[in-house]
Structure 1
Amino acid sequence: MADANGSRVAQLEEENRELKAEVSRLREENRRWAKLAGTDALTGLPNRISFCRAFLPQTLTQSVKEGHPVGLILISPDALWEVNESRGREAEDQVIKGLGQLIQSLVGDEAKLGHIDGENFCLMVYPGELEAVRSRANMVRARVRTHEFPCGEASAQITVSAGISSVLPAEGADFKGLGESYLRDLNQALHSAKKAGGNRVEVT
């Protein structure tokens, strides 16, 4: 009887391992298809490709016609690795997803939000004069600081830093190619904010 029970337990454990492997495979497959569709699988937000190659060029075209700048805010959590280290990757993903949801709830339909890569979100504001963009970035920064993000069976509190810019491209510019250039500049400003201690907003 004991041998039979042991055999059954071993079988169930093997089935459980196979199920976990299949779930992992399907999750990766979903991420791949979501990327092709232009949506980030974790957050449901536009990914880097669709943000830079579709949404941003549309707004830049409008900005040139109307003569108003576009505001861009690159937002990233400070020291998110601490959540990963203490609570694991799934907890980190929960915080990233929650951050996207919080930012979206704060800006509503007034701005376009994209999940650019692992920890980074980009917020596009139009029209986007620099001081208005700075104010928006600081509003998000302040609200994040006091928010509790569900994280496994507990919650986590984080801060964010941001790099911001206000851009008005020249007529005839390659709008689809400008996105990556803008992101590089924003990332440098973001890096400066983090290097200065985090929970800051820096201008490109």
Structure 2
Amino acid sequence: LEHLNEHLCSHLDGRLSHFACEHRVRTDQGGWKWILSRGLVVRRDPHGKPLRMVGTITDISERKRMEQELREMATTDYLTGLANRRHFLERVTEELARLKRDGGHQAVVLLLDLDYFKAVNDTYGHSAGDAVIRHFARLMRDCLRRMDVPGRVGGEEFSVLLPDTDIDAALHLAERLRARVAEAPVQVDHQQIPVTVSIGLTLLTQADASPYAALQRADLALYRAKDRGRNRVEVLSAGD
């Protein structure tokens, strides 16, 4: 309402040549519609006071729905509903900028890879592989806070940004998720598919020139976890 009144008053005062504002209105049924309001003062008195205004009100709810769908398609992985790679990198970039403004914060980046996923596709088929990926995404969401940012950055590779989190808390979360995945096989067509995950994590620091520096460390930690037997969590610090 404040946004709408600001635009309207700006036009009535002569600061804007015309009035145009997108806003919501509540319907009689209690729902909401998006409205495009347009208007133009067509007569003023000798002192410039508006006397008559004409305009239109248009329901743009469908357009807004389509815009939201397009935004989600641009930022969301279609299979899991998690952030896609580009959107995840944008969120890490934002968090890095926040760290550089205020060094009192900490954040951790995790990379996660489902172990022997190719064997799942080869043995059970790609539809089963998709079921495993969706299953893992659900488990990951259940372990995370609302403020955390989970993403899918590759076929069976996932990522998580943990804002305002230190290494100890991140390790605890990663171990809890690793154990939960190992204890929860996926049920597909009356078959149980065992799943495990390897996890690498690192602190996002002010010294990182870009998100890729932290992601590279997390990736090295992930491959260390795989080299040491998989189904484990490894940490790589900025000095390693």
TM-score, normalization by structure 2: 0.64
- Distance in 2 (CA, whole Å) between partners of 1:89 and 1:34 is 28
In the alignment, what sits opposite 2:229? 197
User: Measured at CA, do residues 80 and 114 of structure 1 come closer, stay the same or move farther in structure 2, by a change above 3 Å?
Assistant: same
Structure that is richer in strand per residue: 2
Matched, 1:143 2:175: no
Alignment of 1:1-204 (within 5 A): 37-52=74-89, 54-67=90-103, 68-170=105-207, 178-204=210-236
RMSD (Å), alpha carbons: 2.0
In the alignment, what sits opposite 2:39? none
1:115-157 deviations in whole A, cap 9, x for unaligned? Answer: 1111111111111211111111111111111112233443322
- SS of 2:100 mapped into structure 1: helix
- SS of 2:198 mapped into structure 1: strand
**Aligned 8 A contact 2:83 2:149 in 1:** no
Shift of 1:51: 0.6
- Distance in 1 (CA, whole Å) between partners of 2:216 and 2:188 is 31
Greater alpha carbon shift after TM alignment, 70-79 vs 34-43: 34-43
**Aligned 8 A contact 1:74 1:187 in 2:** yes
**Aligned 8 A contact 1:75 1:162 in 2:** yes
Structure 1 portions without partners, runs of 5+? 1-32
- Distance in 2 (CA, whole Å) between partners of 1:145 and 1:34 is 34
- Distance in 1 (CA, whole Å) between partners of 2:180 and 2:197 is 10
Structure that is richer in helix per residue: 1
- Distance in 1 (CA, whole Å) between partners of 2:72 and 2:222 is 25
- Distance in 2 (CA, whole Å) between partners of 1:118 and 1:152 is 22
Task: Report percent identity of matched pairs.
Answer: 30
**Aligned 8 A contact 1:35 1:41 in 2:** no
Shift of 1:106: 1.4
Aligned length: 166
1:29-86 deviations in whole A, cap 9, x for unaligned? Answer: xxxx88961211111111111110x211222222233322211111111112221121
**Aligned 8 A contact 1:133 1:166 in 2:** no
TM-score, normalization by structure 1: 0.74
- SS of 1:109 mapped into structure 2: coil
- Distance in 2 (CA, whole Å) between partners of 1:141 and 1:94 is 18
Q: Tell me: higher relative CO, structure 1 or 2? Use CA pairs within 8 A at least 6 residues apart.
A: 1
